[in-house]
Structure 1
């Protein structure tokens, strides 16, 4: 009781604990360590999931596999941030090539990521998310989940349509195969923790 009003947080706590338990179960069922570039996770019921400064999940989960993909998505932001500083020439080449391949990208919610720069970034992030999910769930399931995703739906559509060309681009510049988090030095992890990607 505070200031004459009683506030019940039990449902918010229960929903956060459910996400925590599902994430723990996913980590038990799958070896996620190669893709965990941060081990600090917040669960904030009303927030939009985001990667930095602390990987944050909300409680609007539609299923365990969807939560897994969201978690991997935010981890890929950490990986891409590292790559953008560790390999600036590759980062710049990838950024320029994607803009040439895709002169326009969706920016309006839910198809896009609110700004053109963020939507172009998510052409990379979303591809990596699907690639990692495919390693864990199988490619058909990973692509099905991406195709059904409401948020960034237009970006997922572009990624799936141009999958092979994007894969060739990422391979050419060493973005993939994904360097496992287990091989990252402390210096690498500090780069991954930066708030924004390097300017491309």
Structure 2
């Protein structure tokens, strides 16, 4: 159901204001709030949580990525006390996107790196809304995997970034260079 375009009635001096007029004014203010969504804020909800310290990803183990800072956090979706999750504060349709920057590996013949955006749970593949996988090059600066998804999220929804790799038995540390590893959510429009 689409939210109607808000209208504000006008009153003139001496006019008797009836309850229906005042109730209509209250309804229109509520519609205006919902139309703009995210409350009466100066910015739409947006967050970009970043790693400033590379995280070790063990071999063949799903691992939630921790973040140490927020480059943008207009709606307090990322909190350092829960470093591996975003919590949606205002319901709506969000663009979720991430980059997982793996460090260089020695041999790519039998190795794979993956990353997944997870919503409302940490099970892979059950809560995944986007996944990328690649056999990494054996030389150079490593592999960067990006995920993107449009998701209708309720207030209180949680978003995670999962990393997984299969190497010759060792761990790979995520890299903070070349854009590093980050997780982002941008509010686009109210839910319909």
Q: Same fold (TM over 0.5)?
A: no
Query: Based on CA coordinates, which of the two structures has the bigger radius of gyration?
Result: 2
Higher strand residue share = 2
Which one scores higher on RCO, CA 8 angstroms, separation ≥ 6?
2
User: What's the TM-score once normalised by structure 1's chain length?
Assistant: 0.23
User: What's the TM-score once normalised by structure 2's chain length?
Assistant: 0.24
Higher helix residue share = 1
